[in-house]
């Protein structure tokens, strides 16, 4: 009798151990952490979505509150805080307890750099406490890894929707140019090819007028920091390498020269340009006909070009892959867009936030939001062209610009041959990225104006360019860049 009882006890213990192991030592997902639909908990969420993104997000918050939230006892209160920098500034002010600062929300959108700074203060909770391993594994691995901030066991950033970069072309004006010059569309595949196309376009437009050296700019890009970071990575040299929490800055001279030759040099020649706030603004007034920008901004690419106050003409757009360098062994695409972080509070509020985000990122729902906003869905199941095309064909994303749909499909297609690259968080990351954003672009803008001044004085274009396209000019810029980066890291 005693022997049988002992055997039964051992069996029960082993079953319990296996049960715990099977669940990955995660929480019991049946636990509702005190949620009560008759006494709902309100959670405040801050975001920076605007335009169609805000409209879609607000709709989904309302849908959640009327359905799942109502049944579970969760009320989500979502507030736009302006731009991402404005949102970040407000959060930082709260952590510094500045006079007039608002109350900290339960959750807010943040890039890894911001999350890293707030995490150092011990203020952020772990979404993993309220999710099973099976639930987490349904999300794209690189998105989850980014959200762990170099830790193995804490999910600090919850992925909502991601974006990357693509090439957008004014197809109408491109076709005219291509027909008259035999310009090859395949040259859009590489940065070297785009520089060559831009020179051809400048010369072609220059020949159309009697005035000398008045050719038009062909190309521009948003997010110069991405050009620097992704370009370096493609050419085999990672600028910011973080290993076990330690940062190594690597600004390789040979790589920087390649980046310089394929941006600075075309820019001072007048082949590239940056005039408005965004390159889509430049495309709208005909200052450029091709640009690299975010998938989330594809919907802003113009449907017509304004030639003056009274005249404009309709154009079609063309979405192409992000260019790469000819010498790159692996093509990279930036992994972008903020996720959601959660402030430490009590399990009831934290669980409520997590439940909303899990609901928001369910494959069907997240795909609808992503397509409408120019983002990529965050779950593996939804991150396929067939899945997205199914939503489009079923009219699940009505009133979404075709450009946004095509941008998402192109980006998903890019994933087959490109690798995602997400910059790691480290002390001074924001400042370092800002330096990369401005350093080469501002130098190019200043020197382009100097070239134009020389042209007005009667100096030949060849001589004017030659005076700036020198080893000394490059080396001085490179030295300043290194000093600036080292000063903030």
Neighbours of 254 (CB within 10 A): 9
Instruction: Look at residues 208, 232, 206 and name the one whose alpha carbon lies nearest to residue 218.
Output: 206
Residues 288 and 226 in one domain: yes
Q: State which of 395, 416, 437 marks the end of a domain.
A: 416
Whole-angstrom distance, CA of residue 469 vs CA of residue 444 = 11
Kindly give the residue spans of alpha helices, DSSP state H, lying in 235-274. 253-261, 264-268
Whether pTM > 0.85 for this model: the answer is yes
Whole-angstrom distance, CA of residue 414 vs CA of residue 332 = 9
Share of the chain above pLDDT 70, in %: 93
Tell me: pLDDT of 363 over 60. yes
3-class DSSP state of 331: strand
Helix (H) or strand (E) holding 305: strand 304-306
CATH of the domain at 132: 3.40.190.10
Q: State which of 389, 416, 443 marks the end of a domain.
A: 416
- Domain span at residue 326 reads 165-334+426-488
Q: Tell the residue number behind the tokens 């051992």, with chain if given.
A: 10
Residues 348 and 369 in one domain: yes
How high does pLDDT run on average in the chain? 93
Whole-angstrom distance, CA of residue 92 vs CA of residue 446 = 34
Residues 155 and 217 in one domain: no
**Residue 202, CB-side half-sphere exposure with 13 Å CA sphere:** 21
Residues 273 and 345 in one domain: no
Q: Judge whether 45 lies within some domain.
A: yes
pLDDT at 153 (0 to 100):
84
Q: Judge whether 1 lies within some domain.
A: no
What residues does 124 pair with on adjacent strands? 343
Q: Residue range 335-339: average pLDDT?
A: 97
Q: Judge whether 247 lies within some domain.
A: yes
Q: Judge whether 22 lies within some domain.
A: no
Please give the C-alpha separations between residue 28 and each of 128, 242, 257, 482, in angstroms, as whole numbers. 12, 35, 55, 51
Q: Judge whether 120 lies within some domain.
A: yes
Q: What is the CA radius of gyration of the chain?
A: 26
Residues 157-172 pLDDT 10s: 999 999 999 999 999 9
Residues 18-75 pLDDT 10s: 444 444 444 444 578 999 999 999 999 999 999 889 999 999 999 999 999 999 999 9
Residues 237 and 319 in one domain: yes
Least confident of 74-83, 386-395, 446-455: 386-395
**Contacts of 331 by beta carbon, 8 Å cutoff, 6+ apart:** 234, 322, 324, 417, 418, 419
Structure-token pair, residue 436:
């990369």
Residues 402 and 448 in one domain: no
Instruction: Look at residues 26, 30, 482 and name the one whose alpha carbon lies nearest to residue 249.
Output: 482
Contact indicator for 419, 140 with CB cutoff of 8 Å: no
Residues 286 and 432 in one domain: yes
Structure-token pair, residue 155:
């999910």
Please give the C-alpha separations between residue 369 and each of 49, 60, 245, 394, 482, in angstroms, as whole numbers. 12, 9, 35, 15, 41
Residues 238 and 285 in one domain: yes
Across the chain, which distance is largest between two alpha carbons, in Å?
A: 110
pLDDT at 3 (0 to 100):
45
pLDDT at 397 (0 to 100):
58
3-class DSSP state of 252: coil
Query: How many domains in the chain?
Result: 2
Residues 141 and 76 in one domain: yes
Q: Is 338 exposed, middle or buried (0-12, 13-18, 19+ CB in 10 A)?
A: buried
What residues does 107 pair with on adjacent strands? 45, 342
Q: Judge whether 10 lies within some domain.
A: no
Structure-token pair, residue 100:
């007039």
Q: Judge whether 34 lies within some domain.
A: no
Q: Judge whether 204 lies within some domain.
A: yes
Structure-token pair, residue 228:
């620097």
Q: Tell the residue number behind the tokens 């402030």, with chain if given.
A: 343
Tell me: pLDDT of 284 over 90. yes
Residues 75 and 153 in one domain: yes
Q: State which of 370, 398, 416 marks the end of a domain.
A: 416
Residues 177 and 70 in one domain: no
Residues 413-451 pLDDT 10s: 999 999 999 988 999 999 999 999 999 999 999 999 999
Residues 194 and 305 in one domain: yes
Residues 312-334 pLDDT 10s: 999 999 999 999 999 999 999 99
């Amino acid at each position: 009798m005693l022997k049988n009882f002992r055997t039964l006890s051992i069996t029960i213990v082993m079953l319990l151990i296996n049960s715990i192991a099977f669940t990955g030592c995660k929480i019991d997902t049946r636990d509702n952490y005190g949620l009560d639909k008759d006494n709902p908990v309100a959670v405040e969420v801050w975001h920076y979505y605007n335009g169609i993104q805000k409209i879609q997000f607000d709709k989904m918050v309302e849908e959640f509150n009327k359905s799942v939230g109502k049944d579970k006892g969760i009320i989500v209160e979502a507030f736009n805080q302006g731009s991402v920098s404005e949102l970040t500034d407000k959060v930082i002010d709260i952590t510094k307890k500045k006079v007039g600062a608002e109350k900290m929300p339960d959750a807010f959108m943040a890039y890894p750099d911001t999350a890293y700074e707030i995490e150092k203060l011990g203020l952020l909770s772990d979404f993993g406490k309220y999710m099973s391993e099976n639930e987490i594994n349904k999300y794209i691995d690189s998105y989850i890894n980014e959200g762990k901030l170099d830790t193995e066991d804490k999910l600090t950033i919850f992925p909502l929707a991601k974006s990357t970069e693509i090439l957008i072309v004014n197809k109408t004006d491109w076709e005219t140019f291509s027909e008259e010059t035999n310009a090859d569309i395949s040259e859009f595949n590489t940065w070297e090819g785009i520089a060559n196309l831009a020179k051809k376009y400048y010369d072609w437009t220059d020949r159309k007028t009697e005035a000398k050296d008045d050719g038009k700019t062909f190309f521009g890009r948003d997010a110069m920091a991405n050009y620097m970071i992704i370009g370096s990575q493609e050419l085999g040299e990672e600028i910011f390498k973080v290993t076990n929490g330690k940062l190594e800055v690597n600004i390789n001279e040979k790589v920087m020269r390649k980046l310089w030759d394929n941006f600075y040099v075309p820019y001072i020649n007048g082949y590239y340009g940056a005039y408005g706030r965004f390159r889509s603004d430049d495309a709208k007034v005909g200052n450029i006909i091709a640009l690299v920008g975010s998938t989330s901004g594809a919907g802003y690419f113009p449907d017509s070009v304004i030639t003056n106050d009274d005249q404009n003409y309709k154009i079609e757009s063309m979405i192409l892959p992000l260019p790469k360098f000819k010498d790159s062994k692996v093509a990279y695409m930036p992994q972008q867009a903020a996720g959601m972080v959660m402030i430490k509070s009590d399990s009831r509020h934290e669980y409520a936030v997590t439940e909303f985000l899990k609901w928001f990122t369910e494959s069907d729902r997240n795909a609808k939001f992503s397509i409408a906003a120019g983002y990529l869905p965050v779950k593996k199941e939804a991150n396929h062209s067939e899945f997205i095309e199914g939503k489009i064909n079923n009219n699940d994303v009505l009133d979404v610009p075709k450009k946004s749909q095509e941008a998402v499909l192109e980006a998903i297609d890019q994933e087959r041959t490109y690798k995602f690259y997400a910059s790691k968080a480290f002390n001074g990351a924001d400042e370092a990225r800002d330096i990369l954003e401005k350093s080469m672009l501002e130098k190019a803008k200043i020197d382009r104006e100097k070239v134009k001044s020389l042209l007005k004085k009667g100096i030949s274009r060849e001589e004017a360019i030659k005076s700036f396209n020198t080893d000394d000019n490059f080396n001085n810029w490179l030295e300043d860049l290194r000093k600036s980066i080292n000063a903030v890291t």
